[in-house]
Structure 1
Amino acid sequence: METIVRWLKLVLPFVKLNSDGSVGSNIARMGGIILNFNGDVIIAYASSLNHCKVIYAEMRGLSYGLDLCYKLNITNVAIEVDALSLILLLKKDIMCYSDFFYIMRKIKSLLSGLNFILGHIFCEGNTCADFLAKKGCLINGMEEFTGINLPPQLRGLVRLDKLGIPYIRSM
């Protein structure tokens, strides 16, 4: 069975934050992108991480993106992540993983000051954030990108999303 997945534009005053995290055999990384209502890049980011659980990498990607929203004075944010487990953890009032207490507290604190929508998107529709998370393994520390220094492949993925080009998800 196949499903069509696409990145959807927003209406003012919202911006969209897509984030992602991934873990390989001996490396972890995260990334994300913040786009305006028209799909233009405000800022993107990528970083390598110490080896960790994938849910923690997802949390780090979201946390950094939320920090950027505060630094840029963005208060209306539609958040999309491809980790349904992260969404479920954020909606619960209990903390099941003590290892994640501090980062979950930080994320919830950042969210409390925002007008936000939190949603799930399949990884096929989260291609820009996925690209950035994978790029994180090639970076020492954190790297931020704007329209001026966007990697060419990311620029192409952003353009495809802006055009509404669908991705096919095979199940």
Structure 2
Amino acid sequence: MGFIFCRQVPQAPSIVRWRTPSPSWFKLNTDGSSLGNLGLAEAAGIIRDSAGHVHLAFQFALGAGTSVLAELTVAWQEMELALTHGLAPLVVEVDARTVISLLKSRASGKWEVQHLIMRIVCLQQLLMADVQHVLREANGAADHLAKEVASLQLTRVLYHDDITGVLRGIVCLDRQGVPHLRRG
């Protein structure tokens, strides 16, 4: 009996970049995660205008939860902030395909998830929001904010003048259209 050796053909890397929303639109990028199932969860998001300028960002520690719950919570919280600050119409970019599927089907077996889905659907109508999937590599600013909150365990809203350091650099590179490589 012989062995069959299958060699996986490597895929060429693709170029990915953050794209500005259409003129007069705003874009919300979100990221949520948890350390394991029902681990410490955190979430963050950032809203920018069609010139790529930051209007606000949000970081918060959620306590125990799942990554899906964190992703949905940050989308809901940031959409609430967008509504409060008049940041509409809005493109919402989420890097979790599961969340996109849940929002399209508008159904989940868990009440806490279903509750968030219905809130987001309502906010979508109020904000004329379009929820889309984004590749992780084009979601660097939200990813950075989420990693930062994981180490600090804080909750805060940041405005344009509060954006400093590494985050300011990421936002500047995004605004200039600097690409990222996505491997296979």
Letter in 1 for 2:32: G
The answer to whether the 8 A contact 1:87-1:120 is kept is: yes
Task: Report the Cα distance in structure 1 between the residues aligned to 2:33 and 2:142, rounded to whole angstroms.
Answer: 11
Alignment of 1:72-91 (within 5 A): 72-91=85-104
Match of 1:6 among 11, 17, 42: 17
Report the Cα offset of residue 11 of structure 1: 2.0
Alignment of 1:1-171 (within 5 A): 1=11, 2-25=13-36, 26-171=39-184
Report the Cα offset of residue 147 of structure 1: 1.9
Q: Deviations over 1:2-52 (max 9, x none)?
A: 111100112222100001101125421000000010000000111111121
2:5 aligned partner: none
The percent identity for this pair of structures is 29
Letter in 1 for 2:111: S
Q: CA RMSD in A?
A: 1.4
TM-score, normalising length from structure 2?
0.87
Over alpha carbons, which structure has the higher Rg? 2
Question: Once superposed, which parts of structure 1, at least 4 consecutive aligned residues long, lie more than 3 Å away?
Answer: 138-141
Structure 1 residue runs of 5 or longer lacking an equivalent are: none
Higher RCO (C-alpha under 8 Å, 6+ residues apart): 1
Letter in 2 for 1:112: Q
Q: Deviations over 1:66-116 (max 9, x none)?
A: 011111012200111101110111011333333312222211221121212
TM-score, normalising length from structure 1?
0.93
The answer to whether the 8 A contact 1:48-1:138 is kept is: no
